[in-house]
Copies of this chain bind each other. A is one copy, B any other.
Amino acid sequence: MTTVKDMLATYPADLGEIDRAKLTRCIEECVACAQACTACADACLSEGMVGELTKCIRTDMDCADICTTTASVLSRHTGYDANVTRAMLQACATACKACADECGTHADQHEHCRLCAEACRSCEEACQELLGALG
């Protein structure tokens, strides 16, 4: 399958001083986290105790939307604007932390929440690392 790394390697102009490994990982994590959150929201909807999972479902939906948008912003290099990238990475790290915390409270009861919390923690970490590398 075509990978994030493959596509990045074909960009025809200068990428500037960005850390390619951290950028690649961050896009991969955002894409995987968005899918995990969408699937977790839906799995929560099918639990008998859905009434206790409404905050989890909402947080999953926000996190999915924010991760998808962050992956798109990070996949564009033409006319790079560090302010937009930085603000979006901060929003993504915030949403991933909120979702990891919320899913984390149900992780021992719902395997989908446990996996989703892992995806969110991993994505939050990748956003923070890329933020650190942007200076």
Chain A interface residues toward B at CB < 8 A: 1-4, 6-8, 10-13, 27-29, 31-33, 35-36, 38-43, 45-48, 50-51, 54-59, 61-62, 64-66, 68-69, 71-73, 75-79, 81, 83-84, 87-88, 90-91, 94-95, 98, 102, 110-112, 115-116, 118-119, 122
Interface centre among A3, A46, A59 (most CB of B within 10 A): A46
Complex Cα–Cα for A88 and B63 (A): 11
By the criterion CB–CB under 8 Å, are B68 and A68 in contact? yes
By the criterion CB–CB under 8 Å, are B79 and A59 in contact? yes
Interface centre among A2, A51, A56, A66 (most CB of B within 10 A): A2
Q: Which of B27, B54, B88, B95 contacts A66 (CB 8 A)?
A: B88
Complex Cα–Cα for A119 and B38 (A): 22
By the criterion CB–CB under 8 Å, are B84 and A12 in contact? no
